[in-house]
Amino acid sequence: MCCEPRSLRRAQQHIGGKDAPLSHRSGTIHHGTRAFGGGVVDVSVPDTRQPAVPGLVLHRYADLTPNVVERVRGIPVTNRVRTLTDLGAVVPEQIVAKVMEEWLADRHVDVEALRRGIEVHYRPGRRGAGVARRVLENRALGLTPGDSTDEHLLALILRTYGVPLPTYHHLITLSSGEIVEVDYA
């Protein structure tokens, strides 16, 4: 978890909104990721608020609506789709890709929900959504989520070196009649 609930509540009181959600890096960490950790506290607020809070990175959005906020362990956090859509504004594209692959493999998000969320929040000048869109469009596995967080790496390596992509999630019928699935064939 990125911050203690007591310190977050105190910060939320200071910025005038008990429901100001963790977002960006903090939202990613609070939802759970193996991609990175950190001590930065990112909080999103409606763009009408202009507070400066020592120790917090405030992100102001006109489209911060209740439907993109959920409670995780009692703390308001932007949902995973919105968090991924915003994350690219504050971390390198490779980190966004790693978190996206992790959450797709763990079935916390799906490709279609990501696509819809990115389109809703994309606009010129909104860097995070553009990064998320690029990462999603350039996935080596296309629309298919991996079964593990690193499964996409083989497809990425093959594509990088111009090797034709194998069949993904190939089914093989054994002589016993049993059907097994292999990652690549």
Hey, what are 56's tokens? 């917090």
Can you give the pLDDT at residue 153?
82
99 contacts 28 by C-beta, under 8 angstroms: yes
pLDDT over 70, % of the chain: 88
Can you give the pLDDT at residue 167?
81
pLDDT over 90, % of the chain: 46
pLDDT tens digit sequence for 105-139: 999 999 999 999 999 989 888 889 999 999 999 99
| DSSP result, 74-116 | TEEEE-HHHHHHHHTTTS-HHHHHHHHHHHHHTTSS-HHHHHH
Q: Could you tell me the residue ranges of all domains in the chain? A: 5-138, 140-185
